[in-house]
Amino acid sequence: MMLLMAFILVAIAIFVGDRRLSLVFAGIAFLAAFFFLAMSGAFVLDSIQMRNQVRVAVSRQYDITALWTLIRVLLGLAGFAMLAMASLRGAMAMRLQQTPRQSKRVGTLIGGNPPAPAPRVGESTGVKGT
């Protein structure tokens, strides 16, 4: 569920084009992937330690449950790592697209002439009779 919410937030940040927010989400996803990595190591050590306290009759169920839990943790690790990389790549792509471009000022669509400047404050508008 957390991975899905993080994916939606990263997708919105990339869609909107917010580079800083995409970088923040990439950092959070990298941090989550690191914690999943640490959690998988701690889980393996704990499951080996608890293995001696499990009755023989349910040892097979314990092994299957421990393996399933480890697979879920590793899937979370892979998901957050991929999300972090995608968010980082999206932020880098946004940086390349945001280079300043010098564009030639063009006229109006109808006549092709540049628009006349508006009168400044204090100047007369050129209307006779005032």
Q: Per-residue confidence at 6, pLDDT binned at 50, 70, 90?
A: very high
- The pTM assigned to this predicted structure is 0.67
Q: Which long-range contacts (CB under 8 A, 24 or more apart) does 36-39 make?
A: 36/73, 36/74, 36/76, 36/77, 36/80, 37/77, 39/73
Which domain range does residue 25 map to?
2-97
The SS3 assignment for 70 reads helix
3-state secondary structure of 104: coil
Cβ–Cβ under 8 Å, residues 33 and 110: no
109 located within any domain: no
Q: Is residue 9 domain-resident?
A: yes
Structural domains of the chain, count: 1
Whether the pLDDT of residue 126 is over 90: the answer is no
> Does residue 127 sit within a domain?
no
Domain assignment present for residue 128? The answer is: no
What average pLDDT does the chain have?
84
